């Protein structure tokens, strides 16, 4: 019998800690719905005390999701725990997740607490969380750089107070697989009561070892893996959900485990998270990257044509990559469009579908063939991206090699129409400077990139911008057949995210 490994997805919490990856409430709810469809066991919906926005998102997700457990993160103190409970208490299956650091480095430089104090805080925090729910997870931050004796003592205290999941984070991505596997084994041998709880791991990818470490942990007794879609997360990210799940499935011969994940939804989930966060998936990313199933060399292509097994260890269809992405055109009707939206995994209300269909028709007037990627960008831009403080109404740009590039922009700012004109070194520069004037914002542009969503000169351009203001970074994305319009959309999307980010009160 294969044992179950629970998948705890933290895309909406640790994933959102990726530099730039800010999401609003509606976007988070949409991702949570997709994660439920993917069949993850636990969704960590956020860190409720960190901001009003996070609190509201966790609350909304708790009301919406009915199958997966919903976890809210809390530092080990009463205020955090009470706030997290307020946010998750409406969930069908709520979980409180509390944590405190255990390494000497963190105790000395950050917490400024003794080991005895930390044990007391951990115990009291679990006990407080238990007053609200039987489902309590305790994490020892920086566990892999902690003294093992002390780590075991902290875990024993947490279990004594009723923790039901014990999580071992490799917070700084420092461990290597053999060592991490050994740590899990040691904890299982030494901690009293460990057999009563689920052992979990949470690995960061600073040395590119998060997935390998998670697999080593499973082989040594871990039965919950914390991970994110596309491996996004703090710094170099977290264990990638799709990689760990597909490793377990593909190497059934060595790994006697299973997960509840439905892999056919992996690709749509990956695209959705990338679209909403603005975090582009690198082409060579395992399982979901654009090149993950592309065979370039003649020898490989020859082998694949003769027998797929020669160079393919899993099929693109198994993770939901569509066979052909050319779908619709100018003559396609409402019915075909709506069907395709649903096939791509988006569940929209009738009025949102209508709105998306109108945008599709406008696009089809400019562009002969509409691909899945075009449909996704319509859905994400028109529907999921709620208008916030700033909205583009009108843009006219004059540019060329004998004129000073000039932009005239009309925007809605807090519901009021504002118009300005300005010039710059090029059409994009003129547009950005004018938008900056209208919005009176001070962000610095760190990065600007244009990508064609599909092939051909009529393809939509997808622009990604990265902005920085007072140490906060955000990523914005916009798509359009006109790259200057796409640039304006991306810039405004980033400015809206920056506004949202400024409301964050507590960082980790």
Cα–Cα distances (Å) from 501 to 11, 241, 393, 437, in that order, read 17, 26, 24, 21
CB 394 within 8 A of CB 492: no
In the complex, minimum distance from the CB of residue 140 to ligand KIV, in angstroms, rounded to a whole number: 8
> Which positions ≥6 away from 418 have C-beta within 8 Å?
410, 411, 412, 438
Interaction of residue 371 with ligand KIV, rule CB under 6 A: no
Indicate which single residue of 128, 202, 275, 285 sits in contact with ligand KIV (rule: CB under 6 A): 202
**Paired tokens of 200:** 């979990």
How many Cβ atoms sit within 10 Å of the Cβ of residue 182?
A: 14
In the complex, minimum distance from the CB of residue 60 to ligand KIV, in angstroms, rounded to a whole number: 22
Site for ligand KIV, residues 204 to 233, rule: CB under 6 A: 204
In the complex, minimum distance from the CB of residue 70 to Zn ion, in angstroms, rounded to a whole number: 18
Indicate which single residue of 6, 7, 14, 498 sits in contact with Zn ion (rule: CB under 5 A): 14
> How many helices, marked H, and strands, marked E, lie in the chain?
16, 18
DSSP string, 21-37: ----HHHHHHHHHHHHH
In the complex, minimum distance from the CB of residue 229 to ligand KIV, in angstroms, rounded to a whole number: 16
Q: Pick the closer one to Zn ion by CB: 237 or 263.
A: 237
In the complex, minimum distance from the CB of residue 228 to Zn ion, in angstroms, rounded to a whole number: 9
The C-alpha atoms of residue 12 and residue 21 are separated, in whole angstroms, by 10
Interaction of residue 103 with ligand KIV, rule CB under 6 A: no
Q: Pick the closer one to ligand KIV by CB: 99 or 491.
A: 99
In the complex, minimum distance from the CB of residue 204 to ligand KIV, in angstroms, rounded to a whole number: 6
- Beta-sheet pairing, 461-469 with 444-452: antiparallel
Q: Pick the closer one to ligand KIV by CB: 229 or 375.
A: 229
Q: Pick the closer one to Zn ion by CB: 143 or 353.
A: 143
The C-alpha atoms of residue 388 and residue 351 are separated, in whole angstroms, by 19
User: Binding mask 287-326 vs ligand KIV (x if CB under 6 A, - otherwise)?
Assistant: ----------------------------------------
Q: At what angle do helices 52-64 and 78-88 cross, to 10 degrees?
A: 40
Partners of 472 in beta bridges: 469
Q: Pick the closer one to Zn ion by CB: 172 or 304.
A: 172
In the complex, minimum distance from the CB of residue 193 to ligand KIV, in angstroms, rounded to a whole number: 21
Q: At what angle do helices 483-502 and 427-439 cross, to 10 degrees?
A: 30
Residue 357 binds which entry of ligand KIV, Zn ion, none, with Cβ cut-offs from 5 to 8 Å by kind? none
Q: Pick the closer one to Zn ion by CB: 238 or 274.
A: 238
In the complex, minimum distance from the CB of residue 291 to Zn ion, in angstroms, rounded to a whole number: 28
In the complex, minimum distance from the CB of residue 226 to Zn ion, in angstroms, rounded to a whole number: 8
Partners of 201 in beta bridges: 168, 225
User: Binding mask 145-184 vs ligand KIV (x if CB under 6 A, - otherwise)?
Assistant: ----------------------x-x-x-------------
Residue 99 binds which entry of Zn ion, ligand KIV, none, with Cβ cut-offs from 5 to 8 Å by kind? ligand KIV
Residue 141 binds which entry of ligand KIV, Zn ion, none, with Cβ cut-offs from 5 to 8 Å by kind? ligand KIV
> Which positions ≥6 away from 273 have C-beta within 8 Å?
11, 15, 31, 229, 230, 232, 279
Print the SS3 string covering 442-499.
CCEEEEEEEEECCCCCCCCEEEEEEEEECCEEEEEEEEECCHHHHHHHHHHHHHHHHH
Q: Pick the closer one to Zn ion by CB: 14 or 33.
A: 14
How many residues touch ligand KIV (CB under 6 A)?
9
CB 102 within 8 A of CB 150: yes
Q: Pick the closer one to Zn ion by CB: 14 or 480.
A: 14
Q: Pick the closer one to Zn ion by CB: 131 or 235.
A: 235
Give me the residue label for tokens 């279990």.
Answer: 159
Burial of 39 (0-12, 13-18, 19+ CB in 10 A): middle
In the complex, minimum distance from the CB of residue 211 to Zn ion, in angstroms, rounded to a whole number: 15
How many residues touch Zn ion (CB under 5 A)?
1
Burial 234-263 (b: 16+ CB within 10 A, else e): beebbbbbbbbbbbbbeeeeebebebebeb
In the complex, minimum distance from the CB of residue 202 to Zn ion, in angstroms, rounded to a whole number: 6
CB 137 within 8 A of CB 41: no
Indicate which single residue of 139, 164, 213, 220 sits in contact with ligand KIV (rule: CB under 6 A): 139
Residue 139 binds which entry of ligand KIV, Zn ion, none, with Cβ cut-offs from 5 to 8 Å by kind? ligand KIV
> Which positions ≥6 away from 455 have C-beta within 8 Å?
none
Q: In the complex, which residues of this chain contact Zn ion (CB under 5 A)?
A: 14
Q: In the complex, which residues of this chain contact ligand KIV (CB under 6 A)?
A: 14, 99, 139, 141, 167, 169, 171, 202, 204
């Amino acid at each position: 019998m294969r044992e179950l490994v629970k998948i705890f997805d933290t895309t909406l919490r640790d994933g959102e800690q990726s530099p730039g990856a800010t999401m609003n409430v509606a976007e988070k709810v949409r991702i949570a719905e997709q994660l439920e469809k993917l069949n993850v066991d636990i969704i960590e919906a956020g860190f409720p005390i960190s901001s009003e926005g996070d609190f509201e998102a966790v609350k909304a997700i708790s009301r919406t999701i009915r199958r997966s457990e919903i976890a809210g993160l809390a530092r080990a103190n009463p205020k955090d725990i009470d706030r997290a409970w307020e946010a998750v208490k409406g969930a069908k299956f709520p979980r409180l997740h509390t944590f405190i650091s255990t390494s000497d480095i963190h105790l000395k430089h950050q917490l400024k607490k003794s080991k005895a104090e930390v044990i007391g805080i951990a115990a009291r925090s679990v006990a407080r969380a238990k007053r609200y729910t039987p489902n309590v997870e305790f994490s020892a931050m920086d566990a892999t750089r902690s003294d093992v004796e002390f780590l075991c003592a902290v875990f024993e205290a947490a279990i004594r107070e009723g923790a039901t999941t014990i999580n071992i984070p490799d917070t700084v991505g420092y461990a290597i697989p053999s060592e991490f596997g050994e740590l899990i084994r040691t904890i299982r041998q030494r901690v009293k009561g460990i057999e009563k709880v689920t052992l979990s791991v949470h690995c960061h990818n600073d040395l590119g070892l998060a997935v390998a470490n998670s697999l080593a942990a499973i082989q040594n007794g871990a039965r919950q893996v914390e991970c994110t879609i596309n491996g996004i997360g703090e710094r170099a990210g977290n264990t990638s959900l799709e990689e760990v799940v597909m490793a377990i499935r593909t190497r059934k011969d060595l790994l006697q485990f299973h997960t509840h994940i439905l892999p056919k939804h992996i690709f749509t989930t990956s695209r959705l998270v990338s679209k909403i966060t603005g975090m582009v998936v690198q082409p060579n990313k395992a399982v979901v990257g654009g090149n993950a199933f592309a065979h370039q060399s003649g020898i490989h292509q020859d082998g694949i044509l003769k027998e797929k097994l020669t160079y393919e260890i899993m099929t693109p269809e198994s993770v939901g990559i569509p066979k052909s992405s050319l779908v619709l055109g100018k003559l396609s009707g409402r019915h075909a469009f709506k069907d395709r939206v649903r096939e791509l995994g988006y569940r929209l209300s009738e009025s949102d579908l209508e709105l998306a269909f109108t945008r599709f028709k406008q696009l089809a007037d400019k562009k002969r063939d509409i691909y899945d990627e075009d449909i996704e960008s319509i859905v994400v831009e028109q529907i999921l991206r709620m208008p916030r403080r700033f909205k583009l109404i009108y843009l006219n740009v004059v540019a060329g090699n004998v004129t000073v590039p000039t932009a005239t922009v009309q925007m809605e700012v807090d519901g009021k129409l504002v118009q300005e004109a300005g010039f710059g070194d090029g059409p994009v520069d003129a547009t950005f400077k004018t938008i900056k004037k209208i919005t009176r914002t001070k962000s610095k542009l760190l990065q600007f990139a244009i990508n064609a969503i599909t092939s051909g000169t009529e393809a939509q351009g997808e622009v990604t911008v990265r902005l920085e203001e007072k140490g906060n970074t955000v990523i914005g994305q916009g798509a359009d057949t006109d790259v200057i319009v796409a640039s304006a959309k991306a810039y405004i999307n980033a400015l809206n995210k920056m506004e949202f980010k400024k409301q964050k009160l507590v960082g980790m």
